[in-house]
Structure formats: C-alpha cells, structure tokens
Amino acid sequence: MSRSNRERTEQTRQALIDAGRCLFVEKGYAETSTPEIVAAAGVTRGALYHHFEDKKALFRAVIECEAQGVTEAIEERSASHDAPRAALIAGTSAYFDAMRVQGRTRLLLIEAPAVLGPSAAATIDAENAEATLRTGLAAMLPEAGAMLGPLTSLLSAAFDRAAIAIEAGGGRRDYEQAIAALLDGLTDHLRR
C-alpha cells in the first residue's frame, strides 16, 4: 500500500473514531446509529465496515483512544518527578485533569462497562491508567508484595469513583487529598 493510501486509510479510520466519539458523548452508545456516524465522518457505510466489524468495535476503538489519552497524560506529568510518592500525586492530578475532557468520564466509566462488559472495560483500563498506577505503587511500596495487585485494583476503583463524583460536582481538591491520605496510610501500614 502506498504512503498516500495508508494516510487516507488512517484518516478515514480516525474520522470514524472522532465522529463516533462525538456522537457517543452527545447521545450515548444505544441512541447512536451507524448512518449518523458515517454521515458525521463524511464516509460511506462500506468504509465503516472496512475499518470496524460493527458499531461496538468502533466504540471499543473510541474507548481505547480515550484510555490511551488518560495514560499519556498521567505518564507525562508523573515522569517529571523522581520521588515515587510525588510521581503518584502528580499522576493523580493528571488523571483528574484528563477525566475533565468532555464526555470522557461517561465514556470510560459508565458506557464502556455497560456496552463492552465489565471484563473488557477492566482489561482496557488494566492496559492503560491502571498499569501506570501499578507501576507507581510498586515504586512507592516495594514491600507490598502479593498485595500489589489487589491494592492497585482497589485504588483504581477509588480513582474512578472520585472521577464520577467530581464530574457530578464534588470537590476535586477533597478527592485529591483523600487519595494522598490513602497512599500515606498504605505506606505507614506496610512499613510497620
């Protein structure tokens, strides 16, 4: 495939993802039709089905892009800190900033588990933001041992609940302080 064909193919795929994201945020997955998606993307139905098996596959691609965006924001912000606790605190702030992107909380935390199933949504998270959390916790709490996996899962769930609460009007600063207190409590507990 020539470079220009590859570029056109990628542009079409990205146009479908962008159009799908916009409509999924605006209307929700169930209320969004494939004719609306292709019209918004400016492509044919054939192009949609060339790139994606069905609407659910397109939705999964949207969710994967959103999850990668969150991960990139966390990694970028936490990389500038040498101390593991400082990196985790910076990552916390980056996570909440990334989740402020219009519709992201709804897509990742509400729609994804409902449409893709809890297991598939958890797998996407485990490969993205949760993976960065696990890495940060491993650096901060080397003594966690076998508890690292469960601690990562529990804290990841706390981050998600906090993002939903913040989206609903909860005080972000309060949630950031609560996460810091949880991290400090874990450190104190594991180092006894």
Q: Per-residue pLDDT tens for 28-53? A: 999 999 999 999 999 999 999 999 99
Residue 180 has a pLDDT of 96
Residue 191 burial (10 A CB sphere; 0-12, 13-18, 19+): exposed
* Two tokens, residue 165: 């609460």
Residue 8 has a pLDDT of 86
**Average of per-residue pLDDT values in the chain:** 95
Residue 3 has a pLDDT of 62
In tens, the pLDDT along 116-127 reads 999 999 999 999
* Two tokens, residue 40: 């918004």
User: By C-alpha distance, which of 129, 128, 140 is closest to 86?
Assistant: 140
Residue 70 has pLDDT above 90, yes or no: yes
Confidence of residue 2 (pLDDT cuts 50, 70, 90): low
**Half-sphere exposure of 38 toward its Cβ, with a 13 Å CA cutoff?**
15
Average pLDDT over residues 13-24: 98
Residue 134 has pLDDT above 60, yes or no: yes
* Two tokens, residue 161: 């609940």
**For the whole model, what pTM was predicted?**
0.92
CA distance 40 to 20: 8
Average pLDDT over residues 175-188: 94
CA distance 25 to 108: 11
In tens, the pLDDT along 159-176 reads 999 999 999 999 999 999
Residue 1 has pLDDT above 70, yes or no: no
Q: Domain 1-52 carries which CATH code?
A: 1.10.10.60
DSSP one-letter string for 27-61: H-TTT--HHHHHHHHT--HHHHHHH-SSHHHHHHH
Residue at 115: amino acid letter: V
CB contact at 8 A, 112 and 70: no
Residue 5 has a pLDDT of 81
